[in-house]
Amino acid sequence: MKPVPVGTRVRVSREGGSHNYSLGSVVTVSRVDDDGTFKGIKPTGEEGNWLRWEHCDPAGPSLWEILSASLPDHTRLFLNAFEGVDQLSLRPKIGDEILRQLPDLQERIVSFMSSPAAAHLSPNTSSTTDNEAP
């Protein structure tokens, strides 16, 4: 593969050298050296070791890039607040900020969990009331 600009996504397709990337993983080019190597940001968010261009192939657009192009703006913004594919989880910083804006959240959760509606949702649901210790 020929060198590409910083920010480009590439797929690690071959073993070799002392790189610490998983074979098949898609990384984002973060630094380019003039000796035929580059560093990439792994899916975990950490930067890996130097990697040779010939150990990679172009990755193409991500599934998110393809899907988000056809989504309405409000749906794209909503989904962009989450991480994950199979099991979405709210991005921690967004979740923290939302929770800070809900001062009565603990009371609302306890109230719901002690209601009949929550009985089938969790095997650990007990019949404690607001006045009892959890």
pLDDT number for residue 91? 82
For the chain, what percentages of helix, strand and coil (3-state, to nearest 5) are there? 30, 20, 55
Strands 9-12 and 56-58: antiparallel
Distance CA 49, CA 125 (A): 47
pLDDT number for residue 85? 61
pLDDT number for residue 125? 39
- DSSP conformational letter for 56: E
pLDDT tens track of the chain, all 134 residues? 999 999 999 999 998 878 899 888 999 999 999 999 999 999 889 999 999 999 999 998 777 778 888 888 888 888 878 776 666 778 888 888 888 888 888 788 888 888 888 777 755 534 444 444 44
pLDDT number for residue 82? 79
Q: What are the sequence ranges of the domains in the chain?
A: 9-58, 73-118
How is domain 9-58 classified at the CATH fold level? Answer: SH3 type barrels. (2.30.30)
